[in-house]
Amino acid sequence: MRTSIRQLAVAGILAVLMIPATAAPSFGRATGEPVLSVRGAGPYRIGMSLDRLAAAGLVTDVWSYPGCDDVVGSGATGEWAGVILLRFRAGRLADIGTATRPPRSPAGAAVGMEFSELEEIYGRRGELVRSASGQTGYLVRVGQRVELFTDHPIRSGVGYFQVGPADFVERTFRTGTAC
C-alpha cells in the first residue's frame, strides 16, 4: 500500500498536535534573548579562526594555558564582553563558555538551573556525567558537538555552560585539563 502526500501531511499535523504543552520554550531572535548553541554565539562560530576574529576586533586578552601548546583562551568584545569566554585549539574556535545568565541554550537551559531542571528540558537527549576529579556535569550531544553544563563550586546547580566539539569539550571536562 502506497502512502499519499495527504496522508503524510495529516500524520505530521497530528504529531505536532500531540507535543505536550510543557515542552521546553524556544528562545532566540523572537525574544531577543542571547542564545549559545553548539554552532556558536552571535558572531562567534565554532571552527572560526582566531586570526579572523582578531582582525574583526572580536577577541581581547588572549592567554595561553601552561602545558597546552596549541590551546589559547580569550575574552569576547561588544555585546558578548564579560558574557562568554573563548578557547581556541590549533587556531580554531573550539569552545565557548559562560558563567552568566543569559545566554541560554536553544532548548532554554542556562546557568543557575538545577540539574533536575536540565533533565526535564532534555529528557533522554542528555546525561549526567562525572569528571575524573568528581565534578558533576550534564552532557547533551548534538551530532559531533556537545552542550556541557557543569556544577558550581559553592552552590548547587549549574555554574558553567559551554559548547563545542565533543572531542575537545567533553574530553577536557572528563580529564580536568585545558587541552
Residue 131 lies in a domain: yes
Residue 44 lies in a domain: yes
Residue 13 lies in a domain: no
CB atoms within 10 A of CB 56: 11
Q: What is the DSSP letter of 2?
A: P
Per-residue pLDDT of the chain (179 residues; tens, 9 = 90+): 343 333 333 333 333 223 233 233 334 545 578 999 999 999 999 999 999 999 999 999 999 999 999 999 999 999 999 999 999 999 999 999 999 999 999 999 999 999 999 999 999 999 999 999 999 999 999 999 999 999 998 889 999 999 999 999 999 999 999 99
Residue 81 lies in a domain: yes
102: left (phi over 0), alpha (psi -120 to 50) or beta: beta
Q: What is the pLDDT of residue 164?
A: 98
* pLDDT, tens digit, 9 for 90 and up, residues 15-52: 322 323 323 333 454 557 899 999 999 999 999 999 99
Residue 54 lies in a domain: yes
Burial classification of residue 19, based on how many CB atoms lie within 10 Å of its CB (0-12 exposed, 13-18 middle, 19 or more buried): exposed
Taking alpha carbons only, the member of 33, 41, 42, 140 closest to residue 96 is 41
Query: What residues form DSSP beta bridges with 137?
Result: 129, 150
Residue 15 lies in a domain: no
Q: What is the pLDDT of residue 38?
A: 98
Q: What is the pLDDT of residue 46?
A: 98
Residue 37 lies in a domain: yes
Instruction: Identify the domain containing residue 159 by its residue range.
Output: 25-175
CATH of the domain at 38: 3.40.33.10
Amino acid at site 20: P
Residue 10 lies in a domain: no
Q: Quote the number of domains for the chain.
A: 1
Report the alpha-carbon distance of residue 149 to residue 159 in Å, rounded: 7
Q: Where are the alpha helices (DSSP H) in the chain?
A: 5-17, 50-55, 115-122, 166-175
